[in-house]
């Protein structure tokens, strides 16, 4: 198998914490582990600890609040970084990242095959926006392999791009790190791991809690634990106080992965109330930890959770509450589902994922060479903006 030098590109990266940033870190780490040379290129200036791979934090202006590049000089800096790196593949992440789109454009200019991965649901205005941008910029015609992390978002990307060759490149975890051979010590705890943003709907959990508690005997009342941080946290705290739920709901803020694993290992049910989910890593981790899942549908969660087998998928809030109450009431049901959740997770392992990435990089190289044989590997003068 060919060893690739890969540039993994997006505006954001750790220490900003979200599914995208965690995935980019783990992808770079796993590619490195398998003998490839992976570099992360981002516009996030804050440093993190030592990584097993190089991280290029571009010193470029960013738009206030959005944390995205917004100045033409950024393109010159990115182009120099890509040219000097002599990469075999540019792998861009996140359709909301200007740096990602710029990297696939510059990759074509520099003669580098590229792959783009969509991590988000393109519902409503977002889908309309990117259709309009495609009409103006024709980004879907660039010689880039388009991929989505689930069939759900790959279908959306096909509609937005007008291309029928969009591939699926799922997220992955180290499943063995989230499971335990010891007997699970279960507490009456409902847990969620999510960014505190409006899109993730943490307020839904708070507002469901009174109805859930009212339908259960006091000895079955759960503690609701929300793991994560973000701009909605203050609003969530105010709602908890307003509803008198301070004894029933705890906000932990950001936790390390070992801390999250420990909390999952003693929880009863995992919940995710958001509708706009592509293929959430937190749900894969919950399944690997043996937790029944209650989540919304339709979205990419249905490619992780089979309704009635690994938990329940709710079309509305009433159904969400009903499924959660059902699981909290019925210990044998939780035990049966818990046993199922840890089965058949092979497709979400990094071993399988790296094989798919290697195949995608080979496809990108072959596709680029066929479409642009004269461009492959060429050097370029600086971009004129």
Q: Tens of pLDDT along 153-186?
A: 999 999 999 999 999 999 999 999 998 766 667 8
Q: Give per-residue pLDDT as tens, 312-362.
A: 999 999 999 999 999 999 999 999 999 999 999 999 999 999 999 999 999
3-state secondary structure of 116: strand
Give which of 153, 142, 149, 199 is closest to 170, Cα–Cα.
149
DSSP helix, strand, coil percent of the chain (3-state; round to 5): 45, 15, 40
| Residue 93: exposure state from Cβ atoms within 10 A (0-12, 13-18, ≥19) | buried
Among 111-120, 131-140, 243-252, which is the least confidently predicted range?
Answer: 131-140
3-state secondary structure of 311: strand
Confidence at residue 136, expressed as pLDDT on a 0 to 100 scale? 87
Q: Give per-residue pLDDT as tens, 262-303.
A: 999 999 999 999 999 999 999 999 999 999 999 999 999 999
Give which of 194, 189, 178 is closest to 228, Cα–Cα.
194
Give which of 314, 270, 264, 259 is closest to 289, Cα–Cα.
264
Domains of the chain, earliest start first: 5-172+349-371 (3.40.50.2000), 175-341 (3.40.50.2000)
Q: Give per-residue pLDDT as tens, 31-68.
A: 999 999 999 999 999 998 889 999 999 999 999 878 89
Confidence at residue 1, expressed as pLDDT on a 0 to 100 scale? 75
Confidence at residue 374, expressed as pLDDT on a 0 to 100 scale? 60
């Amino acid at each position: 198998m060919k060893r690739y030098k890969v540039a993994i590109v997006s505006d954001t990266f750790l220490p900003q914490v979200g599914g995208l940033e965690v995935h980019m870190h783990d992808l770079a780490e796993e590619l490195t582990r398998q003998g490839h040379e992976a570099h992360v290129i981002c516009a996030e200036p804050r440093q993190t600890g030592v990584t097993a791979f190089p991280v290029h934090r571009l010193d470029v202006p960013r738009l206030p609040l959005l944390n995205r590049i917004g100045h033409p000089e950024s393109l010159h800096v990115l182009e120099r970084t890509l040219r000097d790196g002599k990469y075999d593949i540019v792998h861009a992440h996140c359709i909301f990242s200007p740096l990602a789109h710029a990297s696939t454009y510059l990759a074509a200019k520099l003669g580098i095959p590229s792959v783009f991965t969509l991590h988000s649901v393109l519902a409503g205005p977002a889908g309309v926006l990117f259709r309009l941008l495609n009409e103006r910029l024709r980004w879907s015609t660039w010689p880039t392999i388009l991929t989505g992390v689930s069939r759900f978002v790959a279908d959306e990307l096909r509609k937005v791009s007008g291309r029928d060759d969009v591939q699926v490149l799922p997220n992955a975890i180290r499943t063995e790190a989230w499971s335990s051979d010891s007997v699970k010590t279960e507490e009456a705890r409902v847990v969620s791991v999510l960014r505190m943003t409006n899109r993730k709907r943490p307020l839904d959990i708070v507002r469901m809690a009174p109805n859930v508690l009212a339908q259960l005997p006091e000895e079955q009342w759960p503690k609701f634990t929300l793991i994560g941080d973000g701009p909605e946290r203050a609003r969530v705290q105010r709602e908890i106080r307003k509803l008198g739920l301070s004894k029933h709901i705890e906000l932990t803020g950001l936790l390390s992965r070992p801390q999250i694993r420990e909390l999952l290992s003693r929880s009863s049910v995992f919940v995710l109330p958001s509708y706009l989910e592509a293929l959430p890593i937190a749900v894969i981790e919950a399944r690997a930890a043996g937790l029944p899942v209650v989540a919304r549908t339709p979205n990419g969660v249905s490619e992780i959770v089979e309704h009635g087998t690994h938990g329940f998928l709710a079309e509305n809030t009433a159904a969400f509450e009903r499924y959660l109450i059902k699981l909290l009431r019925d210990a044998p049901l939780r035990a049966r589902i818990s046993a199922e959740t840890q089965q058949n997770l092979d497709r979400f392992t990094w071993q399988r994922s790296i094989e798919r990435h290697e195949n995608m990089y080979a496809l990108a190289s072959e596709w680029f060479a066929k479409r642009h044989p004269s461009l492959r590997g060429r050097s370029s003068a600086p971009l004129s903006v």
